[in-house]
């Protein structure tokens, strides 16, 4: 073969066949590869200032949303956490949480649902990954229990629920409060997104009880900085910070054993929208549906122990966990029989912060004009954190604003009028 012919063949090989053969077919239009998505990172956080309007202690859900609202009010804020924002010890570190419009029929908390849902939805819309999954919620009633249905909630009978939620074994005598417009919210990720959206850089510092510089009328921070006001959103750690006022009888960390059960491949009956969150007061168990493939999460409503939030083991406990798993399976056998033999795909022990009244604590510390404590409201404070944070920020802005009597410190210390 001559050199010319070789060159010609090589050139032909590089030309698409149809063109080379003189065919009429057009070269197929090639799609450009997709552009890498543009960074959705928000503006960088600012460096801490030496004096700020407010220091927020605790970067769990309540602290994060309190800081978020304070920033929106135009306040300068520093946010501190002993273990870092989104840490694995915080109660807010669970992967997903339910925003339940029923709120056990309690109008005070049901009144916080709409604002919280709107805030989570807005945050979810701007987050890199959506954080909100619409999900209905059902609260069954124990025998003889009469809970008033909050707004947008209906009372349903077992017979009516049987045709709608076929995964659940309903009894004719069952009664439940039903809310269509609940949501599952990303837990730990939700906290981090709120902080990012507030353009704050949380500082990993163990903060002491407030040190007030009376002469300058500011709170001293450990690095020499100062703050005009201070908010302790430290959940179950509030007893550690204020042992004289918040004794373990008044506020404590309580433990739950959690189990995630894996439905079969392709089974969508245990995911929203088919599966609601189920607060089964009639039997004493909670169930959150399968979101993001994490499995159906079940746990007993009653806590199994008081714990130290710093040191307790977050694995499901060997003895108590085995008992708890047997109890959950027994409940599933009666209530959701198709899940009774499902494998456990994850298990853990987690804590919540419970006050003696079961309510939220949101009040000023005694003799401290601008130091606030907030925490408690076991089982609901994560989802309601946007509205709780807004209340805290409103108190910081307006010292004369009255404290909600059910959330007052005096109710725990016994000095309520
Ligand atoms: C099994 C289980 C299921 C739940 N399900 C739901 C649900 O579906 N929906 C819902 O709304 N809620 C749910 N909850 C409740 C929810 O987890 C909590 O109410 C909520 O996360 C509490 O948030 P927080 O910000 O008050 O406390 P935390 O998240 O505990 O945050 C407190 C932070 O303070 C920090 N801190 C402590 N001491 C100091 C210090 N000295 N200096 C600096 N930082 C400090 C800690 O490191 C921590 O990060 C559930 C709880 C449990 C246990």
Residue 244 pLDDT > 80: yes
Q: Is the CB of 233 under 6 A from ligand 1?
A: yes
Quick one: average pLDDT of 254-261?
97
In this predicted structure, the answer to whether residue 7 has a pLDDT above a threshold of 80 is no
Give per-residue pLDDT as tens, 263-286: 999 999 999 999 999 999 999 999
**String of DSSP letters for 130-198:** --EEEEEEEEEPPTT--PPP-TTEEEEEHHHHHHH-TTS---TT-EEEEEEEEEEEESHHHHHHHHHHT
Q: Which of 4-18, 313-327, 340-354, 381-395 has the lowest mean pLDDT?
A: 4-18
Is the pLDDT score of 375 beyond 80?
A: yes
Q: From the CA of 224, how far away is ligand 1's center (Å)?
A: 28
Question: What pLDDT is attached to residue 319?
Answer: 86
Q: Is residue 98 within 6 Å of ligand 1 at its C-beta?
A: yes
pLDDT of residue 39: 62
- Note the pLDDT tens digit of each residue in 33-42: 777 666 665 6
Q: Tell me the helices (H) and strands (E) count for the chain, helix number first.
A: 11, 18
Domain 49-95+187-250+356-417 sits in which CATH superfamily?
FAD/NAD(P)-binding domain (3.50.50.60)
Q: How far apart are CA 83 and CA 61, in angstroms?
A: 14
Averaged pLDDT for residues 308-321? 91
Outline which parts of the chain fall under CATH 3.30.9.10.
134-183+252-355
- Least confident stretch, 46-50, 120-124, 273-277, 363-367: 46-50
pLDDT in tens, 67-114: 999 999 999 999 999 999 999 999 999 999 999 999 999 999 999 999
Task: State the Cα–Cα distance between residues 116 and 123, nearest whole angstrom.
Answer: 11
**Residues 58-66: what's their mean pLDDT?**
98
- Class of residue 291 by CB neighbours under 10 A (exposed 0-12, middle 13-18, buried 19+): buried
For 224-235, give one letter per residue: b (16+ CB within 10 A) or e. ebbbbbbbbbbb
Question: Residue 417 — very low, low, confident or very high, per pLDDT cuts 50/70/90?
Answer: low
Phi, psi of 53 (to 5 degrees): -65, -45
Res. 11: pLDDT tops 70: no
List Cβ<8 Å contacts ≥24 apart for 149-153: 149/102, 149/105, 149/177, 150/101, 150/102, 150/103, 150/105, 150/106, 150/107, 150/110, 150/113, 150/177, 150/179, 151/110, 152/101, 152/179, 152/180, 152/181, 153/101, 153/102, 153/110, 153/177, 153/178, 153/179
Query: Hunting for tokens 């029923």 — which residue is that?
Result: 102
Task: Report the nearest atom of ligand 1 relative to the CA of 236.
Answer: 30
Ligand 1, atom nearest to 98 Cα: 8
Which among 367, 397, 396, 389 is positioned nearest to 69, based on CA atoms? 389
Residue with tokens 């408690």: 376
Q: Which of 236, 381, 383 best tests ligand 1's pocket when mutated (most atoms within 8 Å of CB)?
A: 381
Q: 279 CA to middle of ligand 1, Å?
A: 20
* Average pLDDT of the segment spanning 161-169: 96
Tens digit of each residue's pLDDT (9 = 90 or more) over 401-411: 999 999 999 99
pLDDT at 22 exceeding the cut of 60: no
The residue whose C-alpha atom lies closest to atom 19 belonging to ligand 1 is: 381
Give the residues across from 97 on adjacent strands: 185
- C-alpha–C-alpha distance, residues 43 and 198, integer Å: 10
Please work out whether the CB of residue 246 comes within 6 Å of at least one atom of ligand 1. Answer: no
Q: How far is the CA of 81 from the centre of ligand 1 (A)?
A: 12
Residue located nearest, by CA, to atom 37 of ligand 1: 234
392 in contact with ligand 1, CB cutoff 6 A: no
Domain 134-183+252-355, what fold?
A: D-Amino Acid Oxidase; Chain A, domain 2 (3.30.9)
Nearest residue (by CA) to ligand 1, atom 31, is 60
pLDDT at 377 over 90: yes
| pLDDT band with cut points at 50, 70 and 90 for residue 8 | very low
Measuring from atom 13 of ligand 1, which residue has the nearest CA? 379
Return the pLDDT at 144: 86
Residues of the chain with CATH 3.50.50.60: 49-95+187-250+356-417
pLDDT over threshold 60, residue 321: yes
């Amino acid at each position: 073969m001559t050199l010319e012919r070789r060159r010609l063949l090589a050139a032909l090989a590089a030309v698409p066949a149809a063109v080379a053969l003189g065919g009429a077919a057009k070269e197929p239009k090639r799609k450009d590869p997709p552009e890498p998505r543009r960074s959705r990172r928000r503006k960088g956080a600012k460096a801490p200032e030496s004096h700020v309007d407010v220091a927020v202690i605790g970067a769990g859900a309540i602290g994060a949303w309190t800081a978020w609202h304070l920033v929106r009010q135009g306040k300068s804020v520093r946010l501190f956490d002993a273990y870092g924002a989104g840490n694995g010890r915080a109660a807010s570190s669970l992967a997903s949480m339910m925003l339940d419009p029923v709120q056990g029929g309690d109008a005070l908390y049901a009144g916080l649902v709409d604002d919280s849902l709107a805030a989570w939805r807005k945050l979810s819309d701007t987050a890199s990954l959506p954080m909100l999954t619409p999900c209905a919620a059902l609260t069954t009633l124990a025998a003889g229990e009469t809970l008033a249905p909050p707004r947008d909630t209906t009372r349903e009978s077992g017979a009516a629920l049987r045709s709608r939620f076929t995964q659940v074994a309903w009894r004719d005598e069952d009664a439940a409060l039903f809310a269509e417009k609940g949501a599952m919210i990303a837990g730990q990720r939700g906290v981090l997104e709120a902080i990012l959206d507030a353009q704050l850089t949380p500082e990993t510092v163990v903060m002491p009880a407030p040190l007030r510089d009376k002469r300058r009328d500011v709170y001293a921070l450990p690095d020499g900085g100062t703050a005009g006001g201070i908010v302790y959103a430290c959940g179950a750690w509030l007893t550690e910070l204020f042992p004289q006022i918040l004794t373990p009888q008044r506020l404590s960390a309580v433990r739950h054993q959690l189990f995630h059960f894996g439905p079969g491949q392709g089974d969508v009956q245990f995911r929203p929208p088919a599966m609601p969150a189920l607060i089964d007061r009639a039997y004493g168990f909670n169930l959150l549906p399968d979101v993001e493939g994490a499995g159906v999460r079940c746990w007993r409503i009653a806590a199994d122990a008081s714990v130290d939030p710093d040191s307790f083991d977050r694995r499901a406990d060997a003895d108590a966990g085995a008992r708890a798993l047997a109890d959950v399976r027994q409940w599933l056998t009666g209530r959701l029989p198709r899940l009774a033999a499902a494998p456990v795909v994850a298990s853990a022990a987690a804590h919540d912060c419970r006050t003696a009244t079961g309510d939220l604590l949101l009040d000023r510390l005694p003799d401290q004009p601008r130091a606030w404590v907030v925490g408690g409201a076991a089982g609901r404070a994560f989802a309601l954190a946007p509205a709780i944070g807004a209340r805290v920020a409103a108190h910081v802005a307006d010292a004369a604003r009255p404290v909600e009597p059910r959330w007052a410190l005096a109710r725990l210390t016994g000095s309520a009028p």
